[in-house]
Amino acid sequence: MFANVNLLYSGKASRAVGEGQVKASVESSAFYSLFQGLHVWDAPELGGRFAVGGYIPVGYASYSATVGGLANSQDEFALGDIGIIPASFYWSSGNFHTNIYGLIIAPTGEYNLNSGVNIGRNYWSADLVAALTWFNPEKGTEFSVVPGLMFNSKNEDTQYKTGTEFHMDFMFNQFVSENVALGIHGYAYKQLTGDSGSGALLGDFKGEAVGIGPAISWIPKSAGGAVAFSASWVHDVHSKNRLSGDYATLSFSIQF
């Protein structure tokens, strides 16, 4: 399977920490394009199907902020942090479908300590995710929840370690025709443990956020269900110690 996911983001925050400095009136926008590949084996493993894969992102980001009373703005276009999926398992039982996988995020993206905007994060992360889906093909109704836990290592350049993060995506889709579905998508995020290290100038700075918005999917009949397009817009309705903004996504996938 191949997928291309494009994410456009725009957000702002009253204060944030970056490169070991406290920043005020932060505004940021970004565009990321992820190219993902996944290979699924036909032979069952542990009663389900087994897959491995990963993604390569490229992105553009810009920001403006006030540091020490002085306004500063920068932008950057570069390779992002590569994601590796060493193991992914799929199980199905009637209308219920489960996918459990691990994701390793490698610090391959462009990073400069003296730059105000960076495509890469400069630290390793491990994400454990479980996707749970209920789909009724007779009524064309689908509901999914995708919770996960992300564990982060320390950014050695800034001596800043982001705490453990809980995140959950949720999706409701209803097919209004044979090939088109309308939906409501959203997410919830909460940092479970505080930030740490000598660079954590604002203390534990635990973040949390909730966003929700409309979505549309199209599965062309001519492709026999192997090709899918989707688009969504999610607006932050709650945000604490994070940028608050809007996310727009456009995705394409094809199964070989």
246: nearest Cα among 28, 33, 70: 28
What distance in Å separates the CA atoms of residue 146 and residue 125, rounded to the nearest whole number? 18
Poorest-pLDDT segment among 49-53, 92-96, 219-223, 227-231:
219-223
39: nearest Cα among 103, 5, 86: 86
For residue 25, the model assigns a pLDDT of 60
Angle at CA of residue 152, ends 146 and 158, nearest 5°? 140
**How much is the average pLDDT of 96-117?**
92
Better pLDDT: 67 or 109: 109
Q: Are strands 208-218 and 141-152 parallel, antiparallel or unpaired?
A: unpaired
For residue 144, the model assigns a pLDDT of 98
**135-153 confidence digits (pLDDT tens):** 999 999 999 999 999 999 9
**How much is the average pLDDT of 103-107?**
98
**How much is the average pLDDT of 68-86?**
84
For residue 115, the model assigns a pLDDT of 78
**204-242 confidence digits (pLDDT tens):** 889 999 999 999 999 998 888 889 999 999 999 999 988
Q: How much of the chain, in percent, has pLDDT values that exceed 90?
A: 70
For residue 116, the model assigns a pLDDT of 72
Give Cβ neighbours of residue 70 (< 8 Å, ≥ 6 apart).
none
187: nearest Cα among 145, 124, 138: 145
For residue 14, the model assigns a pLDDT of 62
For residue 20, the model assigns a pLDDT of 47
- Average model confidence (pLDDT) for the chain? 90
246: left (phi over 0), alpha (psi -120 to 50) or beta: beta
For residue 67, the model assigns a pLDDT of 57
**153-179 confidence digits (pLDDT tens):** 999 998 889 999 999 999 999 999 999
For residue 18, the model assigns a pLDDT of 53
